[in-house]
Amino acid sequence: MASGGEPFYMDPTFWVAGSFAAFVGIGLWQRVHKNIAAMLDARAEAISKQLTEARSLREEAEKSLSDAQARQRETQREADNIVAQAKEDADLMVAATKEQIASLIERRTKAAEDKIAQAEAHALKQVRAAAVDVAVSAAESVLSDKLKGRDGSALITKSIGDVEGKLH
């Protein structure tokens, strides 16, 4: 009997304990614990597969990342090489252009000097011709005054011819 004079079947603890014992007994009789264990094992296996798949995906992602980084480094090296080559080509073009400009300036300077020399020579010829003409005219007038007559005329004509031949 339970305390307080009540029969044991009136005590709620008895009924809770009995219900629990019946529940566990039925569970064992129906082999529920094996089903629960099988479900837990299946769940553990599924989680294990997910973890394995996650590791595999992570490894693939890390490999893809390293490949992408390697490609990026290679691309950067190629870009640096292209820039360096472009700078070198530009320097060569600048040097070639400077040479061409220097050559062009030299040729034009030489052509201008040649034209100046030709102009000087032409001017000198004109001055000499003018001087000869003036000298001949002066000599003709002086000699014509001094030498009059036939002998003087023949001598003047001969002298003028000699002077013109020597000066031209």
155 Cβ contact partners less than 8 Å away, ≥ 6 residues apart: 143, 147
pLDDT exceeds cutoff 90 at 163: no
- What is the rounded CA–CA span in Å between residue 109 and residue 115? 10
- Residue 2, SS3? coil
Q: Angle, to 10 degrees, between the axis of helix 12-29 and the axis of helix 32-146?
A: 70
Tens digit of pLDDT for each residue in 23-32? 888 777 777 7
The pLDDT value recorded for residue 74 is: 96
Indicate whether 58 belongs to any domain: yes
Task: Report the C-alpha gap between 68 and 78 in whole angstroms.
Answer: 15
Whole-angstrom distance, CA of residue 141 vs CA of residue 156: 10
Mean pLDDT score of the chain, rounded to an integer?
A: 86
Work out how many domains the chain is built from and give that number: 1
Does any domain span residue 24?
no
Whether residue 124 contacts residue 167, with contact meaning beta carbons closer than 8 Å, is answered with: no
SS (H, E, C) 19-35: HHHHHHHHHHHCCHHHH
Could you tell me if residue 49 is inside a domain?
yes
- Is 11 part of any domain? no
**Least trusted range by pLDDT, from 42-51, 82-91, 120-129, 151-160:** 151-160
Q: Give the residue with greater pLDDT, 112 vs 136.
A: 112
Residue span of the structural domain in which 127 resides: 31-167
Distance, CA of 143 to CA of 153 (rounded, Å): 9
pLDDT tens figures, 46-98 = 999 999 999 999 999 999 999 999 999 999 999 999 999 999 999 999 999 99
Q: CA–CA distance from 130 to each of 112, 158, 164 (Å)?
A: 27, 20, 12
pLDDT value at position 146? Answer: 67
